[in-house]
Chain A
Amino acid sequence: MTTQALIGLEVHAQLLTESKMFCGCPTDFGAPPNTHVCPVCTAQPGVLPVPNQRAVEMVVRTGLALHCDIAPHSVFARKNYYYPDLPKNYQISQYELPLCENGYVLIDTDSGPKRIRVRRVHLEEDTGKNIHGGAGAASRIDFNRCGVPLMEIVSEPDLASADECRAYLQKLQLILRWMGVCDGNMEEGSMRCEPTVNVIEPDGDGKTALVEIKNLASFRAVHQAVDFEIERHTKALTGGDETIRETRRWLQAEGRTETMRSKEEAHDYRYFPEPDLMPLAVDEALIEHIQGETPEGPDAVRERFVSELGLSEYDATVMTQSVEFSGFFEEAAAQAGDAKAVANWMQSDFARLLNETGTPLAEAKVTPARLAELVKLIADGTISSKMGKDVFEAMFESGDPPSKIVEDQGMSQISDASALEPIIERAIAENPDAVEKYKSGKKKALGALVGQVMKETKGQANPAVVNQLLSQMLDN
């Protein structure tokens, strides 16, 4: 029996606003418990919510980046359920008429690019946090996170494997960070993911019941849990076992899922339009304003790097790993006049040093202009590529311009024939064996002579010029 997995992902992303969704409390992470709270976010009697304009704009910006339709009329709704971390015992969210609908995310798969449809993107508020006190003990409730703006991005069940889920999440993370709307940190919970999984028999009627998986705190956990569920469902389908619609919890330590609650126990959220809030009407003017401050998306930039700058697909993907990286690249490439060379530097030595020193790109002392200057110094033969590596390291450390480093350390290349000739003559005189071999047809023997010259000049000789002079002198 052939089977096919249908996986949908529901992603919650905390928006990078200064203040909360419906009150002016700060959103930053890590403050002492209940110090970022006020009457509104602790649901004191009589308070009313007032929506954060920036949060609305961030969702629209995300919607545009995900190729969504932006709703001209959108409403907030109350999702009613009781839980201690939810002080109003309803969450202000969106139900019918979300801000954005019908978009897609492009992911790379083994069989080429694939479109994963995005059903909706909507705006809601986060809950507080229960600090569990252990078995039988009281729970402590901290409302600092309560009311932080949250964006929910729901995909269609277009994902077919755990690998595709990872690719989708990585792409989404890239886009959210690129757009500056979310820091995309799964471990800290600023980006959370809940997959729904079932398996069908594409050639028949067979299918398993849909499950939702919770408690996933990393990309790895998502991958493992989805794999586990696909296998469980496939076994059930091929074995003819019955499955039930339920919510399951991922147990990281045991590497398996377990039942959390069945559909019968599912909540009846009693959604209704939030009477305390007015509808949102995103018009052309607002969309234009948002577009004006939205950077070109990673897919478009990547395409441009290939078509306009002649990068390979691979290089273009690496150069668009973040908005900062691509911006740095583009600026350096424009000044250097050699995009390929800049791309090489950025994915080799530069990436390695950033990684080794744990330096974020924004804090690196190397600027696009200096990297461009280095590329030019190599191109015009002032220094060799090999010397360039040393210059780059020095530049990474000190932040000095490459020309200054070359000058300070006397590193400029010797290309002047009159300066090199005596050294070459000496090398020929001191290595009769190599000369013999060369003359007998073993052209490789020239390497030893070049090496001798490079050694004598402490690497400053221009190897191309040395090669040329040596051949001239030996061949005559």
Chain B
Amino acid sequence: MSITRDDVAHVAELARLAMTDEELDEMHGHFGAILEHFARLAAVDTEGVEPTFHPLVRRNVTRPDQIRPPMDRSKLLANAPSADDECFLAPQIMEDE
């Protein structure tokens, strides 16, 4: 499967990565090379083979519905690039979702 430069630009948008033209060119080149390796998988017969999403399978690993004390807000806000006394601050949010 080949990929166009526009496809790469779309992926960059999905991944929230701003890229210059040069970066897009370089990424397009990398995709070309790595996709060749990926294409080799098409030759493998996986008919009836289950995927291995987990190398170790356990089931129903849950916790009881019990409250644990929350973390001190100031400790979390201390790492924030922008915050007031109560909240994390984001630049104006474009209505989307």
Direct contact of A and B (CB under 8 A): yes
Residues of A within 8 A of B (CB): 17-19, 23-26, 32-39, 42, 44, 50-56, 75, 81-84, 130-133, 135-143, 260-261, 268, 270, 273, 275, 277-281
Kindly identify, within residues 31 to 75 of chain B, every residue whose CB is under 8 Å from any CB belonging to chain A.
Answer: 53-54, 57-71, 73
Query: Cα distance A81–B69 when bound, in Å?
Result: 29
Given A18-B67, A52-B62, A279-B57; 15 other pairs, CB 8 A cutoff: A18-B66, A25-B67, A32-B86, A34-B73, A36-B70, A51-B61, A51-B63, A55-B65, A56-B62, A75-B53, A84-B93, A139-B89, A139-B92, A141-B87, A142-B86
Residues of B within 8 A of A261 (CB): 96
Cβ–Cβ contact B92 & A53, under 8 A: no
Kindly provide the distance from the CB of B32 to the nearest chain A CB, expressed in whole angstroms. Answer: 22
Closest chain B residue to A142, Cβ basis: B87
Cβ–Cβ contact A275 & B65, under 8 A: no
Q: Given A138-B82, A140-B88, are A24 and B93 neighbors across the interface (CB < 8 Å)?
A: no
Query: Cα distance A130–B59 when bound, in Å?
Result: 35
Listed A/B pairs (18) with beta-carbon separation below 8 Å: A17-B65, A18-B66, A18-B67, A24-B69, A25-B68, A34-B77, A39-B71, A55-B65, A130-B90, A131-B87, A138-B90, A138-B91, A140-B84, A140-B89, A270-B14, A273-B53, A278-B57, A280-B60
Closest chain B residue to A133, Cβ basis: B92
Cβ–Cβ contact A52 & B92, under 8 A: no
Closest chain B residue to A260, Cβ basis: B95
Cβ–Cβ contact A139 & B90, under 8 A: yes
Residues of A within 8 A of B61 (CB): 50-51, 277-278
The 9 closest A-B pairs by CB, nearest first: A24-B68, A54-B65, A140-B87, A53-B62, A281-B59, A33-B86, A141-B88, A84-B90, A138-B89
Query: Cα distance A260–B64 when bound, in Å?
Result: 40
Kindly provide the distance from the CB of B91 to the nearest chain A CB, expressed in whole angstroms. Answer: 6
Kindly provide the distance from the CB of B54 to the nearest chain A CB, expressed in whole angstroms. Answer: 7
Question: Can you list, as one digit per residue, whether each of B3-42 has a CB less than 8 Å from chain A (1) or not (0)?
Answer: 0000000000010100000000000000000000000000
Cβ–Cβ contact A275 & B54, under 8 A: yes
Cβ–Cβ contact B65 & A52, under 8 A: yes
* B1: Cβ under 8 A from any A Cβ: no
- What is the number of contacts between chain A and chain B, taking CB atoms within 8 Å? 117
Cβ–Cβ contact A24 & B86, under 8 A: no
Cβ–Cβ contact B76 & A42, under 8 A: yes
Residues of A within 8 A of B97 (CB): 81, 83
Interface centre among A19, A132, A275 (most CB of B within 10 A): A19
Query: Cα distance A142–B76 when bound, in Å?
Result: 12
Residues of B within 8 A of A (CB): 14, 16, 53-54, 57-71, 73, 76-77, 82, 84, 86-93, 95-97
Interface centre among A24, A32, A55, A82 (most CB of B within 10 A): A24
Query: Cα distance A52–B66 when bound, in Å?
Result: 9
Cβ–Cβ contact A37 & B73, under 8 A: yes
Cβ–Cβ contact B67 & A34, under 8 A: no
Query: Cα distance A164–B11 when bound, in Å?
Result: 42
Interface centre among A34, A142, A275 (most CB of B within 10 A): A34
Residues of A within 8 A of B62 (CB): 50-53, 56
Closest chain A residue to B53, Cβ basis: A273
Cβ–Cβ contact A52 & B70, under 8 A: no
Query: Cα distance A50–B63 when bound, in Å?
Result: 6
Cβ–Cβ contact B92 & A138, under 8 A: yes
Cβ–Cβ contact B60 & A281, under 8 A: yes
Q: Given A17-B65, A53-B62, A278-B59, are A130 and B89 neighbors across the interface (CB < 8 Å)?
A: no
Cβ–Cβ contact A38 & B67, under 8 A: no
Closest chain A residue to B84, Cβ basis: A140
Closest chain A residue to B88, Cβ basis: A141
Kindly provide the distance from the CB of A83 to the nearest chain B CB, expressed in whole angstroms. Answer: 5
Query: Cα distance A44–B80 when bound, in Å?
Result: 11
Which of B64, B68, B69, B88 has a CB less than 8 Å from the CB of A53?
B64
Q: Given A34-B87, A270-B14, A278-B59, are A132 and B93 neighbors across the interface (CB < 8 Å)?
A: yes
Query: Cα distance A139–B58 when bound, in Å?
Result: 41
Query: Cα distance A275–B55 when bound, in Å?
Result: 10
Residues of B within 8 A of A277 (CB): 61
Closest chain B residue to A138, Cβ basis: B89
